[in-house]
Structure 1
Amino acid sequence: MSAQDQAAGLRKWADLQRQQRQTQSVESDPTADVFAAEPLTPTTDLLTVPPVAASKQTAAPPPVPQKPLIVIGLPSSGDQQVAKVKGRLAQWSVLGRRWAGDPDDWDIHIVKADAANLGQLKERFPRWALWINSDADAFAQMYRSLRQVQENGGPRQLLALHEPNLPRRGLLDNLREAASYYLDIELLLLAR
């Protein structure tokens, strides 16, 4: 697959995520678009708005619901593994990846690739990722995990989570191509 095809796939995934966020925000507050269309100006509009409505606008915004992210490929679940994933999301956020947002906005779930309920989880959770190690046996381990995901009815699209200095050439490209060719799984690799 060429670099252009990869970029197109990533744009498609990002657009889908953006559309889902917009749909969720409209479904959760159908009046959001009405109020967003006409912002108040501090000098004139506050004079015409009743004091109760003006005080509501200055109140703290409600907490943002966490976005679930299911991660496979990690050896165990626990706070240390969740912190590892959030650390990677924070690095992407610093690099300007708006979709990564604040790492605390994510509800990280570590799941084994051979979990019997993978198909049910796929129906409930749209965001999935594969944690890719960089040790000598990484390709075999990650390919095995992807094969188990396929066999257990898991998702067909996963975001590749990996250490920031892991080059795309070699392990990442080989794993992406093998997943696509042999397992019909799209592994999304993000450029730095």
Structure 2
Amino acid sequence: MSAFDQAAGLRQWAGTQHDPEPPRAGTAEASPPPRTLVVVGLPGTSPDQARRVMTLLEHWAAQGQRWVSDPARWRVVPLAITSPHLPVLLTQQSRWALWVGSDPDAFRRAFAVLSRLHERQGPRRLLAVHAPELPRRGLLNNLRQAAWRCLGIDLLVMAP
């Protein structure tokens, strides 16, 4: 049998095969599960505070940050540093973030939250979430360096 005949036979066989039925909307296979991001350091734990972080994820996705993927797949969970649920969430969640404000007192507040996390055996790696216009130079770099040197916490900064 020639190579041409084999190819024709394979095409014929492939034409008789049916694709499995695509997943229907609303089924577990239709969309992957949401990614949870636990955020500490927000001024509160209301849905408005979670929206601030969602807006930032949308911004990063629009800027080409591929790790964000679809921002709608993220579930943002604001958590007070004093929450009694912190130890349980540490065992259940792998993605943590620190909200960093842009006001003059932002470094002190953010470092205080990181210090409390350190005291409570919190996560050792967090994403810095902050206003998009906040540059890496200055506050963010200083906070990242202080977190590592003083607390052994790796603070991931996405600012340019």
Q: Does 1:92 align with 2:57?
A: no
How many residues in Structure 1 have an aligned counterpart in Structure 2? 147
CA distance in 1, matches of 2:40, 2:152: 17
**Mean CA deviation greater in 159-168 or 55-64:** 55-64
Q: Does 1:79 align with 2:47?
A: yes
Evaluate the alpha carbon distance shift between residue 77 and residue 114 of structure 1 in structure 2; reply closer, same or farther with a 3 A threshold: same
CA distance in 1, matches of 2:150, 2:115: 9
What is the aligned counterpart of 2:129 among 134, 151, 161?
A: 161
Task: Confirm or deny: 8 A CA contact 2:100 2:128 kept in the other structure.
Answer: yes
Deviations 1:6-42 (A, max 9, x none): xxxxxxxxxxxxxxxxxxxxxxxxxxxxxxxxxxxxx
CA distance in 1, matches of 2:93, 2:101: 23
Partner of 1:117: 85
Alignment of 1:29-178 (within 5 A): 47-50=15-18, 54=19, 56-57=21-22, 62-178=30-146
Q: Which amino acid letter does the alignment assign opposite residue 90 of structure 2?
A: K
Q: Structure 2 regions of 5+ residues with no counterpart?
A: 1-10
Q: Does 1:182 align with 2:138?
A: no
Report the 3-state secondary structure (helix = DSSP H, G, I; strand = E; otherwise coil) of the residue aligned with 1:56: coil
Identify, as 1 or 2, the structure richer in helix: 1
CA distance in 2, matches of 1:178, 1:56: 53
Task: Confirm or deny: 8 A CA contact 1:118 1:149 kept in the other structure.
Answer: no
C-alpha displacement of 1:159: 0.4
C-alpha displacement of 1:153: 1.6
Q: Which amino acid letter does the alignment assign opposite residue 118 of structure 2?
A: Q
C-alpha displacement of 1:109: 0.6
C-alpha displacement of 1:101: 1.6
Task: Confirm or deny: 8 A CA contact 2:36 2:76 kept in the other structure.
Answer: yes
- Please report the TM-score for the alignment, with normalisation by the length of structure 2: 0.84
CA distance in 1, matches of 2:62, 2:87: 33
Evaluate the alpha carbon distance shift between residue 112 and residue 57 of structure 1 in structure 2; reply closer, same or farther with a 3 A threshold: same
CA distance in 2, matches of 1:96, 1:45: 41
Percent sequence identity over matched residues? 39
Q: Structure 1 regions of 5+ residues with no counterpart?
A: 1-42
Task: Confirm or deny: 8 A CA contact 1:118 1:153 kept in the other structure.
Answer: no
- Please report the TM-score for the alignment, with normalisation by the length of structure 1: 0.71
Report the 3-state secondary structure (helix = DSSP H, G, I; strand = E; otherwise coil) of the residue aligned with 2:21: helix
Task: Confirm or deny: 8 A CA contact 1:114 1:145 kept in the other structure.
Answer: no
RMSD: 1.9
C-alpha displacement of 1:167: 1.2
